[in-house]
Amino acid sequence: MVKRYLSVISLAEARALVERSFTAIPGVARVPVSPRMVGRITAEPIFARFSVPAIHLSAMDGIAARSADTIGASEQNPVTLPDATRVNTGNIVPPGYDTVVMIEDVWVGSKSDDVARSAPVERRDGETYTVRKPVSPWQHVRPVGEDIGESEMILPRGHRIRPHDVGALANYGVTEVAVQNVRAGLIPTGSELVPAGEMPPPGKVVESNTLMAAAVLAGVGVEAHRYPIVPDDYDTIRDAVRRGVAENDILLVSAGSSAGTRDYTADIIRDLGEVLAHGVAIKPGKPVIIGRVEGKPVIGLPGYPLAAATVLRELVMPLVARYGMPGREPGRVAARLTTSLQSDIGTDEFVLVSTGRIDERWVAVPQSRGAGVQMSAIRANGYLQIPSQKEGAEAGETMDVRLTVPRAEAEEAVLVTGSHDPALDYLADLVRPRGVDIHSTHTGSMGGVIALKKQECHAAPMHLLAPDGTYNTHYLERYMPGADLVLLCVAERQQGVMSRDGLGFGDLPGRMFVNRQKGSGTRMLLDHHLAQRGTDPASIPGYEREVTTHLAVALAVRTGEVDAGMGVYSAAKALGLAFVPVATERYELAMHREMLDDPRIAALIETVASEEFKKILRDLGGYETAETGVLRELRG
């Protein structure tokens, strides 16, 4: 029997359902004052146990005196104080004194024209102190309780504890604090799961969803507890859910929420309580379950990582906020979308993007929309929402992008769109300490040229071979006539045939092959050499199968899915494949000349030209670095 969703409701309906279905009352826990308390929310006001300072202290090096003794002092009428004593900063001001005179304003000795000088705290026999201006009461004195008085409130309830709060609490005598406590249990289910740290055999995957969810929840002060992996057995999962409900305020069950034959979560929640909704019109994340057991929320998370992350952000975090533990509101920028996005009417879709500032405007480059592609979240620094009433968004449309990083970090983003090369990852690592955050999108060389023309990237990596044997300039002049451009040479690199058993270019007909996408320089190089040899692409099985990176080609070859593919030597070397060279090509970053004034681009150029980067290229193999860092100009 095929399972179906119990119901599919809108995101707005799901949020309203969560809000009205659960009484969000946090518990209270007492935690010691320590760095681990940062991020927790105070459950009650916190009061100082003693005053700080607990006694009058001197705020300066000088003398403690009675202010009344200085009345009438002037340059013409200096006053030698009848009673005073030396004090240094932080010393107790002895009883009977109500002011401190800085040592610079005191003449020490027996004569009025003595020069002021430093001396030990103790008053020397026969030493006199003379002042030439009156001083006011409590001048340069830190009175009792100046910082805080005994029983004064330090923090109110509902305050998120910050790092500097920890030191202040300790300084004011507080050793333990009552904090709001919400316990969230996380149960990973699935016979295909293995713990983090293990290499999953074929058909298995590492359990990472509850690790990610625990980190998200802990970030707002929730006490998250991860349970051991539970295999796909109804009774075992049922027992784990019953225990999780008993021990926590909120329970999240990872995986088992879809409609497969071993997706038991909905049936178990229905068995122990009630399913309020099974299916929410969001993408990714549609299979989410909202359930209630013993009055507590039990949420069934989808198994795909990005789907689980979306449900956490859009449904679970608003629930947690009702317990008094809100997350920080993300920063927002209005960004121009680089690619059209299709979406289904009736579904709120969330798309991860890399966003960056080009001149004075923001650009948003969509990442892969696959729910299982965790690297999309790694590469992204924001996300946008396509509302349920829209069929998508058009390229060039201005969209509201919610940042997943601080705005200052988003300002550091450099959008690199075009041809892929593993060297870009090493370049990104090398330039990051200089405040440059490279976000690469692999669209192929021609895709990069189009993005550069539309000013939707800072740099476009390319390696386009022209009929006359030159690289890159022919296509830039053709597609961007009149533009003032510069080309930064990353390297001259070897392209060739990757295989497990040393296949050459002439061996490709009849061999299973994997290709790069149309418009990529590698695809164009392949077609150029096929044409030179008079080889029909149709004679190569798999010629139409496309991937977007050299490493994806190498992986397909190594796993035995295909016999061969075209790519760079460094990718073949990384995966231990045989490599037969076909051509050496010039791999460059094309940029508008005006970008040279951008400090981020200046840092990028300096890094490419550095000996450190050149050494990395030589160690990777397949790169010639004689031209690395050389700038070519292409004037309009």
Question: Which residue bears the tokens 């009055």?
Answer: 295
Quickly list DSSP for 266-309. Answer: HHHHHHHSEEEEE-BSEES-TT-EEEEETTEEEEEE-SSHHHHH
Query: What's the pLDDT score for residue 123?
Result: 46
Bridge partners (DSSP) of residue 181 are: 27
Query: What's the pLDDT score for residue 570?
Result: 92
Q: Residue 62 and residue 119: Cα distance in Å, rounded?
A: 9
Query: Crossing angle, helix 599-608 and helix 611-620, to 10 degrees?
Result: 50
Q: Residue 258 and residue 289: Cα distance in Å, rounded?
A: 9
The C-alpha angle 345, 351, 353, rounded to 5 degrees, equals 150
Amino acid at 320: V
Amino acid at 265: T
Residue 233: CB partners within 8 Å, gap ≥ 6? none
Residue 355: CB partners within 8 Å, gap ≥ 6? 333, 335, 362, 363, 364, 365, 381, 382, 401, 403, 410, 413
Query: What's the pLDDT score for residue 126?
Result: 65
Query: What's the pLDDT score for residue 607?
Result: 98
Q: What is the pLDDT of residues 182-219, one digit of tens each?
A: 999 999 999 999 999 999 998 899 999 999 999 999 99
CB 359, CB 396: distance < 8 Å? no
Count the neighbouring beta carbons within 10 Å of the beta carbon of residue 355. 28
Q: Residue 620 and residue 438: Cα distance in Å, rounded?
A: 20
Residue 447: CB partners within 8 Å, gap ≥ 6? 417, 418, 519, 520
Residue 248: CB partners within 8 Å, gap ≥ 6? 183, 184, 185, 225, 296
pTM: 0.84
DSSP code, position 200: P
Q: Which residues of the chain have pLDDT under 50?
A: 1-3, 111-123
Amino acid at 51: S
